[in-house]
Chain A
């Protein structure tokens, strides 16, 4: 229990140091674009592959399970759209990104900690937490909703490709399903969730990296902790945000 309180306290203390005005805006923007490329652009291929595959699988499974003649065929499209927008494109993608981004951030910052690079920054008078962590949090939080949108579109396209290839329903039925009783708010809800999840991933992973100790073994441990804790918090925030926003 003491450990949890201590960790929470340290986390918020770190966040207070992170969310300060950057020393130099030019340095911040340079880091911001660098991190955006690494965290967001670097995740595009993974998100693309997972989304297209899952979009196809959802369509296939829904079609196979819709045996009742009273349920119209276009419901495959409805189910694919709702599954993707409500859970997959935000929560599932965030869980996948927790592994990719989380380990990347925690190991990068952790290695800098154990090789005294963070100490070197501090001695120069640079707020290392602000320099290293703020650009990561801001870029991931700002751009991740776009990643969610991309995942949604590719997931739907994946479903379309599978339907075209297998002929389980017609493309026209699929498109009709995608348009049926569409609630635009779900898109915003999912984008908000994704932004919150990416804030959790980047800040939690940065925290574990920043306080890594004990050599390379410690860095490995901090990466694992970052992924586990981020994933758990994503699920908790999923429940809270769903209750609040839907």
Chain B
């Protein structure tokens, strides 16, 4: 479980996150939703240590991530996997080399063992026989799947996804959502997904946190979101005509 306690972060004196308290449970897909600029990416970057919180704590089980020393944190990062908004695949490496990258650093596996793991991960994301392709040769959806394969290469306990559906068509977006959900349940991973895609919310939202102007305003599940009386959340969820018509029905 990941527990965020009283998180506060500011940039140049301007608060971006204020008093965030939230828990992300094991084996669940937790979604952080909110409009662009609400602070959800900053929260995710604090969770993975790309930003340091100005106040507050982030606990991974019993371990306080914010108070870990550099070397301790480095070891701990092996338990994390992350899928980036633009996939962040290494341009200089093939699909196979991308997935093998963390293995090269943190395992003493032989090349055969690494290849076996690469092929397993690629099969898991339905992307077999693409080992020798470069990221530039892949479509957006394929890049996301390679990103997931790389994120799960070392069997992480925690998976973080930043806008996994951005730039994808609705069908591919649902495929990626389901893949994230399946992997979460299969390996009992604690998954935190950052999104503003309402399809994702309805498809995989086991637990949802709504951030508005740096504050966590609402928490619940996908079933509860439609009946919420939180006005900023309703404004966000029913921002488009289709959603408004669905609610009226």
Chain A residues within 8 Å of B, Cβ to Cβ? 23-24, 26-27, 111-112, 115-117, 119-120, 122-127
Give chain B residues whose Cβ lies under 8 Å from the Cβ of A115.
86, 88, 91
Residues on A with C-beta less than 8 A from B80 are 123-124
Say whether B91 contacts A116, CB under 8 Å. Answer: no
CB closest residue in chain B, given A131: B105
Nearest CB of A to B160, in Å = 8
Closest beta carbon of chain A to B79's beta carbon, Å: 9
Asked if A117 meets B50 with Cβ closer than 8 Å, knowing A125-B75, A126-B105, the reply is no
CA distance A126 to B74 in the complex (A): 8
List chain A residues, Cβ under 8 A from B61.
none
Closest to B93 in A: A117
Complex contact A123–B90 (CB within 8 A)? no
CB distance from B223 to the nearest CB of A (A): 32
Interface check B134, CB cutoff 8 A = no
Known: A27-B104, A117-B89. 10 other contacts (CB 8 A): A111-B91, A112-B90, A115-B86, A119-B50, A122-B50, A124-B77, A124-B106, A125-B73, A125-B77, A127-B74
A24 to chain B, nearest CB (A): 6
**Which residues on A sit within 8 Å (CB–CB) of B50?**
119, 122-123
A27 — which chain B residues lie within 8 A by C-beta?
Answer: 104-105
B236 at the interface (CB under 8 A from A): no
A6 to chain B, nearest CB (A): 14
Contact B90–A117 (Cβ < 8 Å): yes
| B84 CB-CB contact with A under 8 Å | yes
User: Assuming the A-B contacts A120-B88, A123-B82, are A23 and B105 also in contact, with contact meaning beta carbons closer than 8 angstroms in the complex?
Assistant: yes
* B 15-53 to A, binary, CB cutoff 8 A, 1 in contact else 0: 000000000000000000000000000000000111000
Q: Is the CB of A117 within 8 A of B105?
A: no
For the complex, is B244 an interface residue (Cβ under 8 Å from A)? no
Q: Quick one: given A117-B91, A119-B50, are A125 and B85 in contact (CB under 8 Å)?
A: no
| A117 (CB) vs chain B CBs: closest residue | B88
B154 CB, nearest partner CB in chain A, Å: 8
Give the nearest-CB partner of B79 in chain A. Answer: A125
Give the complex CA separation of A117 and B89 in angstroms: 6
| Shortest distance between the CB of A33 and any CB in chain B (Å) | 14
**Which chain B residues border A117 with CB–CB below 8 Å?**
88-91
Bound: A123/B80 CA distance, A: 7
Q: Which of B73, B89, B91, B105 contacts A124 (CB 8 A)?
A: B105
Q: Which residues of A contact B101 (CB under 8 A)?
A: 124, 126
Check if A125 sits within 8 Å of B88, measured CB to CB: no
Instruction: Give the interface of B toward A (CB within 8 A).
Output: 48-50, 73-78, 80, 82, 84-86, 88-91, 101-102, 104-106, 160
Q: Are B74's CB and A116's CB within 8 A?
A: no
Chain A residues with CB below 8 A from B89, complex form = 117
| Residues of A close to B104: CB separation below 8 A | 24, 26-27
Q: CB distance A123 to B86 under 8 Å?
A: no
What distance in Å separates the Cβ of A28 from its nearest Cβ neighbour in chain B? 11
* Inter-subunit contact B77/A123 (CB<8 Å): yes
Residue of A nearest to B104 (CB): A27
- Contact at A125–B91, with CB atoms within 8 Å? no
CA distance A115 to B80 in the complex (A): 20
A29 to chain B, nearest CB (A): 12
Are the CB atoms of B84 and A119 closer together than 8 Å?
yes
Query: How many angstroms between the C-alpha atoms of A119 and B82 in the bound complex?
Result: 10
Which of A23, A120, A127 is close to B82, meaning CB atoms less than 8 Å apart? Answer: A120
Q: Which residues of B contact A125 (CB under 8 A)?
A: 73-78, 105-106
Residue from the list B48, B85, B105 in contact with A123, Cβ < 8 A: B48
Closest 10 CB pairs of A and B: A125-B77, A116-B88, A120-B88, A125-B74, A123-B82, A116-B84, A124-B102, A117-B88, A23-B105, A123-B48
B135 to chain A, nearest CB (A): 10
Write the nearest CB–CB distance from B225 to chain A, whole angstroms. Answer: 29
In the docked arrangement, what's the CA distance between A119 and B76, Å?
16
Write the chain A residue with the least CB distance to B162.
Answer: A116
A119-B88 in contact given A24-B105, A124-B101, A125-B105 (Cβ < 8 Å): yes
Q: Nearest chain B CB to A32's CB is how many angstroms away? A: 14
Q: What's the least CB distance linking B230 to chain A, in Å?
A: 32
